[in-house]
Structures are given as structure tokens and as C-alpha cells.
Chains A and B, each alone.
Chain A
């Protein structure tokens, strides 16, 4: 308890530090490219939500949603970067429903991937495991057929020990 109590203030301090860094970077980015930050901030909202709801340590859902969310946002970022790098252009884009649908649909497709792929992979791995078990059972049966049921006993019983052998007939004893 005491140790948890000691650790808790440290974690909180770290989290606050992270937020300070994030805000600082956002401010710097805003100063460099305000249109990019505006589009990304609004377009990447599904990823932010995914990050918040993803309880896994590896944040697979965030990566999955975020990845495709970037795919949806990236064409509009290119438009801002290469056509008209202005806040008005950014505001036009984010106020365009079609653009928002593209960005959020891409994120939704990411969610769909995240939901649909694991059962498929799981079923696939299950089939592989069943095949492996069958193979191992067959191997065990072959072992028992060749060595007898006692091979399944553990540990091995002591064997016949006989250290004096007669020579085959016809050999000289001299």
C-alpha cells in the first residue's frame, strides 16, 4: 500500500509532463503549419477516441484506426501543403462534409478491420493447432507400437545387467 501510495504521485507527475510536452509540440506545430494542425486535429478525432477507449498495452486498436485514419486525412493534407497553405483552405476542408466522411470512413474501416481480423486469425490458428495435436497423437501411437505401452511410464525401470558374456562358438579361449 505504502509503495503504491509512493508511486502514485510519480505517475501523475509523469502524465502531466506528457501532456505539457504534447501541448508544447502542438503549439510549435500550430506556429509552423496552422492549417495542418486544424485538419489533423479534426480529421484524426476517431484516432483520439480509439486511443482513449483502447485499454490494451500495445494499443493495437489505436494503430489500426489511426493508420487508416491517416489514409483518409492525408489527401487533404497534401491539398493544403501543395495547393493553398492557408487557414481558410483548412477551414473549407473541415467544413466539407464529404471530406469529413472520407476521413471518418477511413477510420471506420480501421475499426472494421480491428473487429473482423482477430476471429479469422483465431480460427486459422485453431485449425493449425488441431492438425498439430493429430500429428503428435500419431507420433505417440507409433512410439507405443514400436516400444510398448511401458514407454508411457516414467521414469525408466532398470534394465538387465549382465557383464559376463561367453564368446561365440569356434573362437579360441586362448
Chain B
């Protein structure tokens, strides 16, 4: 039985349907018929994943499972998870798991991007060893196994604590811990382990009951990586649900569940109406404590497992006002719930906040003069900047909501996110809704910085987060290629594939795959357009470790020829640095666009020579050589010098012509004078000759 989302409106279940029409469509788009016809797919030249053998019982909410085999070790029982193409995956975690996977996880084998025929496009394929015992919850439901509250420490908690600690030491929390994602790894059901957690962003597929209160309030794609504290909370919930055999809050709406958790605490809201066995009461309360500082850590869990006593769990005090505040006809005493209502009803909340009665309630009814003063300051600031963004209702309500409930996520214009979830949120919003305006506004208005400044005590990693958001904001402010909103996407979400329309369905996630994908795309792309669009340039800028600023500067030039040279130089630099093979299609594409760059040479003989040499280099598929031909520094210098010299020569000739033709009467006068001079000279010479001859005759 496939794992189903526990709640109907959860973000899980994102695997696209297998629509036979899709394959037809992709075939017409130029993908080979062989690929579109289905069949096995080989990754890493080793693992064969068969699209004809689905394994729905191993499906994830974000990935479908298919039988796989290891061609070098045929006895291994593997399965491949086909990820949802538009959903960022956890590549950094996969890299870590491939080299250092702990016991107590379904064994991670390998991963790669490959063409998946049923989807008609490339996507991420992750190969795992099959958990032969199946899902624990299924086995419990079928009564194949029985786990009592007394078995929990030894059979569940102890074997699963190790992998959690191992992940925590690598700062790679699991973030997909739920009862349905725990498996028996062997047929004898003696080994237990967590299921996959790499095919979706952290916490994305989690029902909100498994998320800490703050992260449960976020959008699914914006819950962020968090820490092991989030895993421990989810572990506590998973243990409770395994013992109960069901999710007691499955039918409660998310918003109602959050309000209940804010009102009564998470443990009470989720398990309050159930009969949790007494031995598990303290562990569950400890692991599900809403106060992260008071929540059990690995030491406390170990103490429980070894029978040692833990400090008494302090119940998190729920702040309540003495007198209620009425908003939209309902009375509120809890400021956290009130802030939740505020962000859900912006315009009414803004009117309420601007009314003096709200500040008065904070002081008298709630007895918090600091909050009252802070809210008054925000209101005054909004009035002072009424024409700026600080004066907008959204900004005002967001800031006041944070003052009322600092622990809640950043909430602005319906975007509820934790700071470490911003990247995946922007990525999903851009990919699925093509909407990046609000995400950009969040940065330009410094919303995260405002939120971080209001945290008391400071949010962990505040200075790093401020630096990160400032850096993203600076990228956003530059409109040149390689920057802007596109750069923001790739910088904030490291596993987002390149979204360039030219690379549609290629799933280019690593910089090494960019040029081969572009080379393949050259057959179908409009070769009158530049192969490097804004998305691709930003992708390179974010993923390529070398300094490419000079290339970006040239690419951003308003002069077409300079921009083309910048494009060619960047592609050539990539091919050279990444030591990639010949790119015949891409060379041909780029070669066809170089006219303006060639024409930037003044010397027409040089132009003809370059044009003559291009076809040969295109056939070699070498972009560096093409660049060397088109923008050879020595040749450019010679051209510049020659041109300057030619200008001087032309001008000198012109001046001489003007001198000759334009002289007019002056020239005639000069000629006459020269004639007169010549006549005088002839006369003198004749005289001297005659006198000499006569003297000689006389002397003889």
C-alpha cells in the first residue's frame, strides 16, 4: 500500500499523473521515440529501473517507486524513486548518504538524473534497497506484528535514535519522520528504519501534526531544514501514532489544529483526547514540548531508554490576557492566536492595529507595556511613511504579528516561512506559479531582517541569515544577466534545476550537465536566439565556482557584438574548465550568431579570414577555439592599431587633396611665381654661360 498523505489538503501527493498523451506530446517535441515508448532506464551505467514494474507500496508522497536492479549484483533487491520534476530534491543530503549512510535508514544506494519515459522528460531517480518487511504501520494494521508500549524503547526508539543522531551530527536532519515512513528493513521484521527523505524539500511532505508549531504554520515548501529538534518532535509524534495505530487529528483542518496547538500545546492538541499508554506519556510530552529549549534532546531520550530519570517537564506557559480583545466579532485572549487571525485578515487587522484601543488592550488587558510601545512605534512609523512600503497594511500587519508572536514564522502577504525555508519557497513559487514578485518584495523590504530583529532571544544564526538575505537582496538589485530574480532563485535553492525554457525537460541541476543539455537542445531551439538566456546565465553564476564577472560584464553590454563575445566566452570558459567533450550542435548554434562580433573587426580581410575559418572550428565542436578565433587579443590589437593608422592615412590624404584642390588662385600664383623664378634662373644661367664663353674666346 502506498503511503498516503494523512491530511487531504496537504502539499504531498505531488507526483504528476502518468498521462499517455504526455508521451505523445514529448515525442512530437523531438525526444526519441525509443525513449518515449517506456521500458527500463539505466543510471550510472549500473542500476536499471524498470518503468513497467511499479511498486506502489513503496511510493513516497513526492516520488513514485519502480523496481530496480543492480546489473553488477543481480541478487540485490532495489527500487527506484522517480522524483517530481518540478520539486527541488535534497542533493546535498544524497551526496552525504552515498558515502556515509547510517544504519537505521532504508539503505540509500545511488542517484542520478535520467530520462524517464512515462514523464517524457529528465528527472531525478533515486535508488534504494527495498525494505523487505514493508511499512510498520501496514504490518501493524494487518496485525502481522504487535508492538506494545513496553516494546517501544527497545524495538522502535533505540534502533531509530542512532540514525537520528548520526544525521544530526552532519547537520542533515531527516525532516520526513512520520509513522508511515518507518519500515521493517528485513523480512523477519527485526530491523527497523526510517524511509526516504531526499525526494522533496525538508518537511514538505509532512502532515502538520509532525511539524513543530512554528514550522506547521509555514507553507509546506517553506518549513526549512531546521535542526534535530524538529526530528525529535516528529519522532515523538510518530511513536504516539504507531502505538495508537492512527492519526487522531487526521480529520481536523490545519488551521483549527494550529489554533488548538497554540491554545493547549501540541501534545494536548494531538494526543489530548487519546489514551496514550502511561509509560509513553513522559517521553511523548518531552519530545513534543513546544518550547524548543525545554524539548527533550538526544541525551534525555537516551536517559529514558536506559531507565534514568529526566528533569521534570515544564509545561510551556500559554500567555493569556486578563481581558479579551474583540476582533471580527470574536474574543481573543491569546496574542499568538490573535496574530494568526491578523495575518489572515490584513485590511481589518490594519484598521484594528491603528486604533488606539488595541495598544491600550496590550498594556492594560495583556499587561505588556513593551509590546504596546513596540506596536505604537510601528503604527507611527507607518503613518510617517504612509506613501512608502512601511505604510502599507501588509507591512504593518506583518510586523505587528511578529511582535505579538515572535516565534511564529515570517508572515507577509500570505507567504508564511521560516528563514531557512525561504529558498525552497521562492523556487516552488517560481516553478509552479511563475510568481516571484512577492518573494522579491520580501527581500527588498527587508522583511526577514525585521523578523530576526524582533526575536528575543536571538534566533540561532541570525548574523549569518542577515548576511545571506543581504547578499540575495544585492543580487536582486542588479538587473544584468547573471543577477536579478533568476540569480536569487539559484542562490537560495541549491538543488533547483535550471528553469531556462531552452532546457525544458532536461532537468539540468549540476553545472556539468549544462553544456551537454544545451548541445542536445540545439537541434530544437530557435538558433536565432542566444543560447544563454537569463535563467541559464544566473544558473551558471550560482553554480560555477570560477570567477565569471568579466564574462557577465561583457554579456551585459548594450553593444550586441560585445554581448555575443561575452556569451561565447562564458560558454567557452565552461567547456574548457569543465573539460567537456566536443559540442557540435552548440558550436554550430553559437557560430551562426557571431556575425556582429566578426563585423566588429574593422579590417574586412580579417573578417573574411574569420568567416572562412569558422566552419572548420564548428565541425571540431570546440568553443574555446571558436572564441580564440573570434576574439583573439592580438588580432584585436592589430585591428585597432591598423584601423587607427588607416584613419590617419585617410585623413592625411584628404588633407593633401584639399590642399591641392582647394588652393585655387593661390596655386596659380604659386605656379606663376615658380615660372618667373625659372625664367630668371634660365636667364642668369644663359648670361653666365655666354659671358664665360666670350671671355674664353677673347682669351684665346
Where the two chains meet, the residues of A that have a C-beta atom closer than 8 Å to any C-beta of B are 56, 58, 60-61, 63-68, 70-71, 74-75, 78, 82, 110, 113-114, 116-122, 125-126, 129, 132-133, 136-137, 139-140, 143-148, 150-156, 159-160, 162-169, 171, 173
Contacts and interface: CB of A to CB of B under 8 A. Distances in A.
Contacts of B642: 147
Given A162-B562, A164-B551, A169 B671 contact: no
A58 B650 contact: no
Interface in B211-241: none
A106 B7 CA distance: 133
The range of chain B's interface size is 35 or more
B698 A60 contact: no
A-B pairs, top 10 by smallest CB distance, nearest first, are: A118-B675, A67-B683, A164-B550, A122-B671, A121-B675, A63-B680, A60-B676, A117-B679, A67-B687, A60-B680
Interface of B: 550-551, 554, 559, 561-562, 565-566, 569, 572-573, 575-577, 600, 602-605, 622, 624-625, 627-628, 631, 633, 636, 640, 642-644, 646-647, 649-651, 653-654, 656-657, 660-661, 667-668, 670-680, 682-684, 686-687, 690-691, 694-695, 698
B674 A166 contact: no
Contacts of A162: 550, 554, 562, 565-566, 569, 631
A150 B642 CA distance: 13
Contacts of A137: 653, 657
Given A121-B675, A125-B674, A65 B683 contact: yes
A69 B677 CA distance: 17
A5 B609 CA distance: 75
Given A71-B687, A118-B672, A136-B656, A152 B650 contact: yes
A121 B675 CA distance: 5
Given A75-B694, A121-B671, 9 more contacts: A58-B680, A71-B686, A120-B675, A121-B675, A122-B672, A136-B656, A146-B646, A147-B603, A151-B647
Contact of B633 (A67, A117, A148, A165): A165
10 contacts: A65-B683, A70-B690, A118-B674, A120-B675, A129-B660, A143-B649, A156-B647, A160-B631, A167-B576, A168-B624
B676 A118 contact: yes
A60 B691 CA distance: 20
B320 to A, nearest CB: 64
B650 A143 contact: yes
A82 B698 contact: yes
A139 B653 contact: yes
A137 to B, nearest CB: 7
A107 to B, nearest CB: 10
Nearest to A79: B698
B50 to A, nearest CB: 39
Nearest to B571: A166
A61 B675 CA distance: 11
B682 A117 contact: yes
A61 B683 CA distance: 10
B671 A56 contact: no
Interface residue SS majority, chain A: helix
A92 B682 CA distance: 31
B628 A168 contact: yes
A139 B566 CA distance: 36
Contact of A154 (B551, B647, B668, B690): B647
Contacts of A61: 676, 680
Given A67-B684, A164-B551, A60 B657 contact: no
A111 to B, nearest CB: 10
Contacts of A150: 602
Nearest to A148: B602
B6 to A, nearest CB: 52
A58 B680 CA distance: 10
B679 A118 contact: yes
B646 A143 contact: yes
A61 B653 CA distance: 36
A64 B640 CA distance: 56
Nearest to B676: A60
A116 B625 CA distance: 71
Contacts of A122: 668, 671-672, 674-675
Contacts of A147: 602-604, 642-643, 646-647
Contact of A166 (B554, B572, B646, B678): B572
A171 B576 CA distance: 8
A69 to B, nearest CB: 9
A140 B654 CA distance: 8
Nearest to A61: B676
A69 B110 CA distance: 119
Contacts of A117: 675-676, 678-679, 682
Contacts of B559: 160
B135 to A, nearest CB: 50
A122 to B, nearest CB: 3
A120 to B, nearest CB: 7
B683 A64 contact: yes
A137 B667 CA distance: 20
B690 A151 contact: no
A56 B676 contact: yes
A118 B698 CA distance: 35
Contacts of A160: 554, 559, 561-562, 565, 600, 631, 636
Contacts of B660: 129, 132-133
Nearest to B576: A166
B573 A166 contact: yes
A8 B395 CA distance: 96
Contacts of B565: 160, 162
Given A125-B674, A148-B604, A132 B656 contact: yes
- Of B649, B680, B682, chain A has the most CB atoms within 10 Å of the CB of B680
B625 A159 contact: no
Contacts of B554: 160, 162
Contacts of B602: 147-148, 150-151
A146 B694 contact: no
A143 to B, nearest CB: 5
Nearest to B607: A148
A105 to B, nearest CB: 14
Given A67-B683, A118-B671, A133-B660, A169 B676 contact: no
Contacts of B575: 169
A136 B604 CA distance: 21
A169 B649 CA distance: 39
A151 B528 CA distance: 30
A142 to B, nearest CB: 9
Contact of B640 (A116, A120, A159): A159
Given A70-B687, A136-B657, A162-B631, A64 B649 contact: no
Given A71-B691, A143-B650, A152-B650, A114 B679 contact: yes
A77 B642 CA distance: 69
